[in-house]
């Protein structure tokens, strides 16, 4: 009896707790499985969005320098092309990414060259230029700042006005050489409307400049 009793007690003591523990474990594993599945799905989604573009089926080989029929050939690794493409893409994205520069003075929606607003023809921008207000300040764009130091200003342009402007080129989404050139353009007045920002030189007339729309309106100024 005593032994039986002991056995039964020992059985009952030994049997029940592991059962409980097992149940807890199983439940936990289910939760972990769910979490794993969720993570896996997320990883697949991320891979589909960002990863698959550059996936190469080629095995990644060690780069080699081979000599074949007396000619030397560089054999790039399998991932070489993917890496090059990824770098090029990165540079292109960076080039075309527009960044708002909050430290610049906000300007009116007016072409910085011909003074016309963007109602009739769409303006492109904003571009930014750092300009010294001591020499000249484009009051048709913004109020003159009180500080007498080079100030960054927001600029808008008509496509044709800026395309005809010499020494300014569109590189990605940036206009090159704008800081220097805008100072020059603002120092030149238009032969037709007498306003500043004339970028185009008039043929056969020294130190005579004109705005693109002014030249277009006056047939005798041939571009
Ligand atoms: Zn214009
Ligand atoms: Zn003009």
Q: CA 70, CA 122: separation in Å to the nearest integer?
A: 60
Confidence of residue 58 (pLDDT cuts 50, 70, 90): low
Instruction: Report residue 216: phi and psi, to 5°.
Output: -70, -35
> Exposed, middle or buried by CB within 10 Å (0-12, 13-18, 19+), for 195?
middle
Please report which ligand is nearest the Cα atom of 109: 1
Q: Which of 8-22, 59-73, 89-103, 192-206 has the lowest mean pLDDT?
A: 8-22
Given this model, what pLDDT does residue 21 score? Answer: 57
**Would you call 170 helix, strand, or coil by DSSP?**
strand
Mean pLDDT over residues 188-201, rounded? 94
Given this model, what pLDDT does residue 137 score? Answer: 92
Please report which ligand is nearest the Cα atom of 115: 1
CA of 115 to the centre of ligand 2 (A): 8
CA of 168 to the centre of ligand 2 (A): 19
Please report which ligand is nearest the Cα atom of 165: 1
Given this model, what pLDDT does residue 11 score? Answer: 46
**22-35 as b/e, with b when 16 or more CB fall inside 10 Å?**
eeeeeeeeeeeeee
pLDDT in tens, 23-40: 555 566 677 788 888 888
- Looking at the predicted structure, is the pLDDT value of residue 217 above 90? no
Given this model, what pLDDT does residue 161 score? Answer: 95
CA of 99 to the centre of ligand 1 (A): 23
Q: CA 222, CA 164: separation in Å to the nearest integer?
A: 13
% of the chain residues with pLDDT over 70: 80
Given this model, what pLDDT does residue 141 score? Answer: 93
Tell me which H or E stretch contains 210.
strand 209-210
pLDDT in tens, 97-111: 777 888 899 999 999
CA of 105 to the centre of ligand 2 (A): 24
* Joined tokens for residue 5: 């009793």
Confidence of residue 6 (pLDDT cuts 50, 70, 90): very low
Strand segments (E) across 50-208? 64-68, 71-75, 123-131, 151-158, 170-171, 174-175, 200-201
CA of 189 to the centre of ligand 2 (A): 8
Mean pLDDT over residues 59-75, rounded? 80
CA of 185 to the centre of ligand 2 (A): 12
Q: CA 159, CA 83: separation in Å to the nearest integer?
A: 36
Please report which ligand is nearest the Cα atom of 158: 1
ipTM score: 0.97
Residues 6+ apart with CB under 8 A from 47: none
Given this model, what pLDDT does residue 113 score? Answer: 96
Q: CA 73, CA 65: separation in Å to the nearest integer?
A: 6
Strand segments (E) across 40-96? 64-68, 71-75
Q: CA 141, CA 105: separation in Å to the nearest integer?
A: 10
Please report which ligand is nearest the Cα atom of 121: 1
Q: What residues are neighbours of ligand 1 (ion), with CB under 5 Å?
A: 111, 113-114, 158, 161
Q: CA 77, CA 61: separation in Å to the nearest integer?
A: 5
Please report which ligand is nearest the Cα atom of 215: 2
- Looking at the predicted structure, is the pLDDT value of residue 54 above 60? no
- Looking at the predicted structure, is the pLDDT value of residue 69 above 70? yes
- Looking at the predicted structure, is the pLDDT value of residue 195 above 50? yes
């Amino acid at each position: 009896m005593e032994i039986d009793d002991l056995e039964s007690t020992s059985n009952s003591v030994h049997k029940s707790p592991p059962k409980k523990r097992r149940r807890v474990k199983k439940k936990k594993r289910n939760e972990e499985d769910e979490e794993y599945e969720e993570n896996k799905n997320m990883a697949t989604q991320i891979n589909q969005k960002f990863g698959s573009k550059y996936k190469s089926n080629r095995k990644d080989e060690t780069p080699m320098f081979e000599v074949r029929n007396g000619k030397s050939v560089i054999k790039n690794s399998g991932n070489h092309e993917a890496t090059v493409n990824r770098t090029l893409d990165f540079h292109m994205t960076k080039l075309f990414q527009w960044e708002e520069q909050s430290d610049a003075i906000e300007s009116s929606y007016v072409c910085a060259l011909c003074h016309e607003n963007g109602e009739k023809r769409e303006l492109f921008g904003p571009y930014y230029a750092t300009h010294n207000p001591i020499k000249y300040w484009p009051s048709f764009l913004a109020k003159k700042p009180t500080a007498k130091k080079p100030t960054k200003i927001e600029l808008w342009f008509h496509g044709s006005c800026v395309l005809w402007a010499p020494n300014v080129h569109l590189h990605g989404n940036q206009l090159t050489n704008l800081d220097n050139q805008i100072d020059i353009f603002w120092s030149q007045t238009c032969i037709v409307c007498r306003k500043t920002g004339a970028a185009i030189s008039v043929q056969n007339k020294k130190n005579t400049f004109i705005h693109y729309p002014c030249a277009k309106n006056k047939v005798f100024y041939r571009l």
